[in-house]
């Protein structure tokens, strides 16, 4: 029988990691003072880490979030029951209890001819707008809440976009998985979805235009269409919101003008195919990816588990391997299964990722060294790391 989850109580300064899998969610906590000790404990767990779960056992959890705005810690999760559909749940007590699925319904309006299949992204939004939240869902759409997540409505300018009939699902479904917002200009946002590309609004969501000039679509006769690219992930840093990094279905790109133009930055990577991407919390020029060999073989190249890091905005990428398996590691890291959080040391990042084989790896020093903090989970589809304030 699974353990009965009790939730976690994390103190200010501690690290929490929310992990969504195809069979439930798990909450990890790293005790204060453990981050420099390193090493493995005797029971297979990593030093200082504790795990709580499974939450929502048997349900797929593709989206989670920790929201610390408004001075409290709220966990969000979107468990998908394989029979009865997806719901949005909230916990204000570290996962000890979760709200009922019917309290915050997420549904398309009647007459839209759309029905919710899955929630792919829970995006708490900007600090100065604590009541605003966003969801990315399948079929591709953006939902907005203005009351802290209690009620939701689709962004009509996106839902009714004239391109919608020509958006087609990738292998994971027609999923909107990336939501970015400009903290200096909140009416500017970007969303990415597979397939469709990267779309931007400059008027708060009324109009959206594809912004993937320069991004390839290897699977189409026209390799540079206006839209239709299979974008796997886009990230940016709030201190430099106009600079975007994009992991494509074949292709690694950067834009310095909010997606107006993209340039290839696949410099020194074993493959430019992959899903996951994250940016350093303290440095807009530092980003992380996990290359995969090919779309026909979505495993780490040469059976080596390597995270690649750039410190010069994609000018060069370097493998991070210390503590990661370098033999017979046929691993896959999916689009939302890599995340970063502020480290305990100034300017150092915690980097965490999970694999389809159910392993969780974490680094407390920018990715220079890693330890496996858990093995044997169901396939990991979502990892969210947060430093408790």
Note the residues at the interface with another protein (CB under 8 A).
Answer: 81-85, 100-102, 105, 107-110, 112-116
Supply angle C-alpha 235, 241, 242, rounded to 5: 100
Count Cβ atoms below 10 Å from residue 111 Cβ, excluding itself.
6
What separation in angstroms does the CA of 133 have from each of 54, 137, 241, 384? 26, 13, 18, 16
Instruction: Determine if the peptide bond prior to 139 is cis (ω within 30°).
Output: yes
C-beta of 66 vs 174, nearer to another protein: 174
C-beta of 50: minimal distance to another protein in Å? 29
Contact partners, residue 369, CB within 8 Å, separation at least 6: 38, 322, 323, 363
C-beta of 78 vs 234, nearer to another protein: 78
C-beta of 112 vs 207, nearer to another protein: 112
Nearest by Cα to 270 from 302, 234, 247: 302
Supply angle C-alpha 244, 267, 364, rounded to 5: 65
> What strands, in cross-sheet order, belong to the sheet with 24-30?
49-55, 24-30, 15-21, 380-387
C-beta of 39 vs 82, nearer to another protein: 82
C-beta of 82: minimal distance to another protein in Å? 5
- The values of phi and psi at residue 220, to 5°, are -115, 155
C-beta of 175 vs 246, nearer to another protein: 175
- The values of phi and psi at residue 254, to 5°, are -135, 145
C-beta of 84: minimal distance to another protein in Å? 4
258 forms beta bridges with none
- The H or E element containing residue 236 is strand 231-237
C-beta of 80 vs 343, nearer to another protein: 80
C-beta of 112 vs 239, nearer to another protein: 112
C-beta of 160: minimal distance to another protein in Å? 15
C-beta of 1 vs 346, nearer to another protein: 1
C-beta of 212: minimal distance to another protein in Å? 29
Do 196 and 163 touch, CB atoms closer than 8 A?
yes
C-beta of 145: minimal distance to another protein in Å? 18
Nearest by Cα to 337 from 319, 357, 321, 366: 357
> Distance between CA atoms of 251 and 341, rounded to whole angstroms?
26
What separation in angstroms does the CA of 36 have from each of 30, 32, 359? 11, 10, 21
C-beta of 156 vs 303, nearer to another protein: 156
> Distance between CA atoms of 177 and 321, rounded to whole angstroms?
28
C-beta of 156: minimal distance to another protein in Å? 15
CA 183 to chain centre: 19
C-beta of 379: minimal distance to another protein in Å? 11
C-beta of 175: minimal distance to another protein in Å? 17
């Amino acid at each position: 029988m699974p353990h009965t989850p009790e939730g976690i109580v994390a103190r200010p300064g501690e690290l929490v990691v929310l992990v969504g899998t195809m069979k439930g969610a798990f909450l990890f906590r790293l005790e204060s003072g453990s981050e420099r000790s390193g090493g493995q404990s005797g029971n297979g767990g990593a030093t200082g880490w504790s795990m709580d779960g499974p939450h929502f056992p048997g349900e797929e959890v593709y989206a989670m979030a920790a929201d610390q705005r408004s001075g409290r810690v709220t966990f969000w999760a979107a468990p998908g029951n394989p029979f009865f559909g997806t719901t949005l749940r909230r916990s204000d007590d570290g996962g000890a209890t979760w709200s009922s699925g019917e309290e915050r319904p997420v549904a398309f309006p009647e007459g839209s001819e759309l029905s919710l299949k899955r929630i792919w992204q829970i995006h708490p939004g900007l600090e100065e707008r604590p009541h605003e939240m966003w969801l990315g869902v399948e079929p591709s759409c953006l939902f907005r809440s203005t009351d802290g997540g209690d009620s939701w409505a689709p962004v009509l300018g996106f839902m009714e976009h004239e391109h919608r009939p020509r958006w087609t699902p990738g292998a994971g479904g027609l999923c909107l998985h990336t939501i970015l917002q400009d903290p200096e200009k909140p009416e500017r946002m970007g969303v990415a979805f597979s397939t469709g590309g990267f779309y931007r609004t400059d008027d708060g969501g009324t109009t959206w235009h594809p912004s993937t000039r320069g991004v390839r679509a290897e699977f189409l006769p026209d390799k540079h269409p206006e839209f239709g690219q299979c974008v796997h992930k886009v990230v940016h840093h709030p201190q430099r919101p106009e600079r975007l990094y994009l992991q494509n279905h074949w292709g690694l790109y950067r834009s310095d003008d909010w997606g107006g133009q993209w340039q290839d930055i696949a410099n020194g990577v074993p493959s430019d195919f992959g899903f996951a991407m994250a940016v350093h919390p303290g440095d807009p020029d530092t980003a992380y990816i996990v290359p995969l060999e090919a779309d026909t073989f979505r495993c780490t190249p040469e059976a080596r588990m390597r995270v690649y890091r750039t410190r010069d905005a994609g000018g060069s990428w370097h493998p991070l391997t210390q503590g990661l398996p370098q033999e017979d590691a046929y691993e896959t890291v999916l689009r939302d299964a890599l995340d970063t959080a502020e480290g305990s040391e100034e300017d150092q990042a915690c980097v965490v990722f999970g694999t389809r084989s159910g392993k969780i790896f974490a680094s407390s020093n920018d990715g220079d060294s890693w330890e496996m903090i858990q093995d044997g989970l169901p396939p990991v589809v979502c990892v969210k790391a947060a430093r408790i304030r």
